[in-house]
Structure formats: structure tokens, C-alpha cells
Structure 1
Amino acid sequence: MGFPGVWMTESESMVYRVVPKCACSTIGQIMFYSDHGRFFDGDIHDSKNGLHKWSQDHSHDPIEQAVRAGRGVSFTCVRNPYARILSSFFDKIAGIQRNGRRYRGNLVPQLIQRYGIDVGSPENDFDFDQIASFRRFLLFARDTIRFRKPMEPDIHWSAMSGHISTFIVNGGHYDQIFYTETFNEGMAAVLDAAETPVKVDLAEVPRFNESEGHGPKRAHKVSEYFDDLSRHLIWEIYRDDFKLFRYDFENPDNKLPIGEIDLDEVHAKLGR
């Protein structure tokens, strides 16, 4: 199966398992900069050279050899599940994508028809009931993950533990896993451990949020989107994410973890 979702610097200083909606654009740009002394001009997801990606055939052998030999610092980044699923909704469902169209073509019309979701439009300044529509989207997300209907689960709302496990199951080992919420500290620890051709000053790195500005802004605090049923669904979908990465299920407004990640436990539970 190889190492899907893995990016690696050409210098093999860093090996990163991408987890969507967890600062992956910024991390990719930092990796690119650490080799080339410049940022990629555009969305790093669109780069075809300068950064090894498992999605590129020519990158398979370098990634596989580096991972098997334990070269570079292998890491990933996680995010509070409440905030992550909200971000997925506002970006992929309510927002307009970089190409000027809705995400995945007919997905949003299908959700409007099947789940009664309303996401507004740029013409009406995305005026819609965010809470009601998000809760209906959550039902859809649960259906895709639990029952794989009406479609396979999308990478942007499937569980982080699922993404992270593929690297372990296929023979990789994480040196570090850090939090989006304390990004600078986590990324600094990775860079400190890596031998990069170019030194990176994190204080000078912009945030590359490629989804920002293409859709509605969140109008309420996190907890207001999650009633009892919503929280039941969130636990059903993301139980392992809360437990392994020590996020606070009881308080949706607390975005910070309530403990430290145990890397041995992550490898033991996700490597089965």
C-alpha cells in the first residue's frame, strides 16, 4: 500500500503525514522553504516538484527508502475534532473553492436535496442558518463514515486517527506529533530535530490558509453548533481522536488538549 498522504523534503530532512484541515498548507510551505530558501508560488497542494509527495509516481522510491531507513524526522499534526469538522463544513460545504466552483461538483446540491442543508451563496453574502445546516451536515458526515453512504467518507472529515494509522501500519514510525493549536512550539521542535539545508525562522513564516476568504465566516462560538445529538455523533465519529490526542470532549469551546500525546500508545493502537 505504500505511504499515501506522505510528503517529504527532497533533502529527506522531514517526512510528514498530511492530515487535512490541520495546517497542512503551512507545513508544506515550511518544508519547501527549508530545502529551497523560498516558498512555493501558489497552493503547495498544487506543486509538482521541489517536494516529494506519495501522489507523484517519481516520489515513491525516495519516500519508501527514507521511511524504511528511518531517515529524517517523521511527524504529523492534529487538531481539535470539534474545530476541524466545523472548518471542513465552512470550507468544503459552505465555501466556494479556489476554482470558483463548489467542492466536488454536485456534492452540495446533493446535500441540499437529501439532507435539507442551506449554505447560502456569494450573492446573498452566505446568509443562512449556520447551526441548523451544520448539524444536518454532521448527519451526512456520520453516514459517510459509518455506513459509507451516500458516498465514501471525504479526507477532510474522516478521522485523524485513520489518516495517521496508514503510516504506522505500512511500516513508518512517528518521531513527533504536535498540535495545530500550539503550532509554533510543535513545528519548532520538528525543525530543531531536522537537519535542513535552509534555516527557517518561524516568526517570519506567514500562515498559508488556502481556504480563507472563499466562504462564510463562523458566526457563533463552537459549542453553539453542538447540541446533545451533535455531540453524540461527534463521539461516534471521532472517539479515537479525542482519546489518543487528548482533546476535551466535554467542553467544545476548549480547543486546547488536556494532556500529552503518548507516542507509544498511538503506535500500539493505530498499528494494529
Structure 2
Amino acid sequence: MGFPGTWMTQSESVVYRVVPKCACSTIGQIMYYSDHGSFYDGDIHDAEQGLHKWAMEDSQPVITDNVTAHRSYAFTCVRNPYTRILSSFFDKICGIQRNGKRYRGNLVPLLVQKYGIEVGSPEDGFEFDQVKSFRRFLLFARDTIRWRRPMEPDIHWSAMSGHISTFIVNGGRYDHIFWTEMFNEGMQVVLDNIPGANDVVLSEIPRFNESEGHGPKRAHPVEDYFDDLSMHLVYEIYKRDFNLFKYDFENPANKMPIGEIDLDEVHAKLGE
């Protein structure tokens, strides 16, 4: 299976396992900058040079050799499951994508038809009942993850632990896992371990958010979207994420972690 979703600097100074909706655009740009002294001009997900990516065939043997020998510092980044699934809904379901179209073509019509979800449109200013539609989307996300119906789960809402485990199961080991909610502190640890890199001052780095500005703004606080049933569904989908990455399941309003991530526990539980 190899190392899907893995990026590595060309200099092989650092290895990163991408987790969608967890600051991956910003992290990719910082990695690019650390090698080249400039940011990639465009969305880093589109870059086909300047960075090794598992999706590029020529990069696969280089990444495999590095990761299996653990030659470089390896890390990933996680996010509160409540805010991550909300972000996926507003970006991928409600938003218009970079190509000017809806995400995955027929996905939104399917959701409208099968789950009664409304998403609004740029023409009506994205006016719709966000809470009601989001809760119906949660049912759909649960169905894709639990039963793989009416489609396979999408990388943007499948559990973080699933993404992170492939790296471990196939022979990799993480040196660091940090929280999006404490991005500068976590990313600084990574930068301190990148040898010979161009100096990156995190307080001056722009946040690269490829999903911003093409969909509705969230109209309510996070906790308003999650009633008792929604919380139950979120826990059913993301139980391992809450437990391993130390997020607060009991309180959707608290996006901050409530404990320290235990790397040994992560490797033991996700390496099975």
C-alpha cells in the first residue's frame, strides 16, 4: 500500500502525512518555503514540482526509502472533530470549488435528493437553514463511513486516525503530532527539526486556506450545530480521534485539546 497522503521536502529534511482539513495548505507551503525560500505560486495541492508527494509516481521510491529507514523527522497535524466536520460541510458541500463547480459533480444533487439537504447558492447569498442541513449531512457522513453507502467515505470527513494509521501500518513512525488549534507552537517544533532550512517566522506566515471565500459563512457558534443526536453521531464516527488526540467530546464549544497526545499510544493503537 505504501504511504498515501505523504509529502516530503525535496531535500528530504522532513516528512508530513497530510490530514485533510487540518491546515494542510499552510503546512505544505511552509515545507516548500523551507527548501526554496519562497512560497509556491498557487494552491500547494496542485504543485507537481518542488515537493515530493506520494501521488507522483517518481516520488514513491524516494518517500518509501526515507520513511522505512526513518531518515527524516516525520509529523502530522490534527483538528477538533467537531470543527473539522463542520468545515468539511461548509467547504465541500456548500461551497463552490476552485474550478467553479460543485464538489464531486453529482454529490450535492444526491444529498439534496436522498437526505433533503439544502446548500443555497451564490445567487441567493447562500440562504438556507444551516443547522438543519448540517445535521442531515452528518447522517450522510455516518452512512458513508459505517456502511460505505451511498458512496465510499470522502477523505475530507473520514476519521483522522484512519489517515494517520496508514503511515504507521506500512512502516512509518511519527516524531510529532500537533493540534491545528495550537498551530504556531506545534509547527515550531517541526521547524526546529528541519536541518538547513530557509528561516520561517511563523508569526509572519500567511494562512493558506484554499477553501476560503467560495461558500457560505458559518452563521452560528459551533455548539449550535450539535444537538444530542448529532453529538452521538459524531462520537460514533470519530471516537478514536477524540480519544487519541485528546479532544473534548462532551463540549462542542471547546475546540481546544484537554490532554497531551501520547505518541506511544497512537503508534500502538493505530499500528494494529
TM-score range, shorter chain: over 0.9
Contact persistence 1:122–1:215 (CA under 8 A): yes
Alignment-derived partner of residue 186 in structure 1? 186
Identity of aligned residues (%): 75
Matched, 1:16 2:13: no
Q: How does 1:120-159 map to 2 (within 5 A)?
A: 120-159=120-159
CA displacement at 1:203 relative to structure 2:
1.7
Matched, 1:42 2:42: yes
Provide the secondary structure at the position in 2 that maps to 1:166.
helix
Hey, what's the Cα distance between the residues in 2 that align with 1:219 and 1:13? 41
Alignment-derived partner of residue 229 in structure 1? 229
Gaps in structure 1 of 5+ consecutive residues: none
Q: How many residues align?
A: 272
Alignment-derived partner of residue 98 in structure 2? 98
Contact persistence 1:4–1:55 (CA under 8 A): yes
Provide the secondary structure at the position in 1 that maps to 2:58.
helix
Hey, what's the Cα distance between the residues in 2 that align with 1:144 and 1:69? 35
Hey, what's the Cα distance between the residues in 2 that align with 1:197 and 1:14? 10
TM-score of the two chains, using structure 1 as the length reference: 0.99
Structure 1 segments (4+ residues) deviating >6 Å:
none
CA displacement at 1:264 relative to structure 2:
0.1
Hey, what's the Cα distance between the residues in 1 that align with 2:20 and 2:121? 24
Hey, what's the Cα distance between the residues in 1 that align with 2:162 and 2:152? 14
Provide the secondary structure at the position in 1 that maps to 2:35.
helix
Q: Which amino acid aligns with 1:107?
A: L
1:37-81 deviation line (CA, Å, top 9, x unaligned): 000000000000100000000001110111112122100000000
Hey, what's the Cα distance between the residues in 2 that align with 1:194 and 1:265? 25
Contact persistence 1:184–1:202 (CA under 8 A): yes
CA displacement at 1:197 relative to structure 2:
3.1
TM-score of the two chains, using structure 2 as the length reference: 0.99
CA RMSD of aligned residues (A): 0.6
Alignment-derived partner of residue 67 in structure 1? 67
Provide the secondary structure at the position in 2 that maps to 1:193.
coil
Hey, what's the Cα distance between the residues in 2 that align with 1:205 and 1:70? 28
Hey, what's the Cα distance between the residues in 2 that align with 1:234 and 1:197? 39
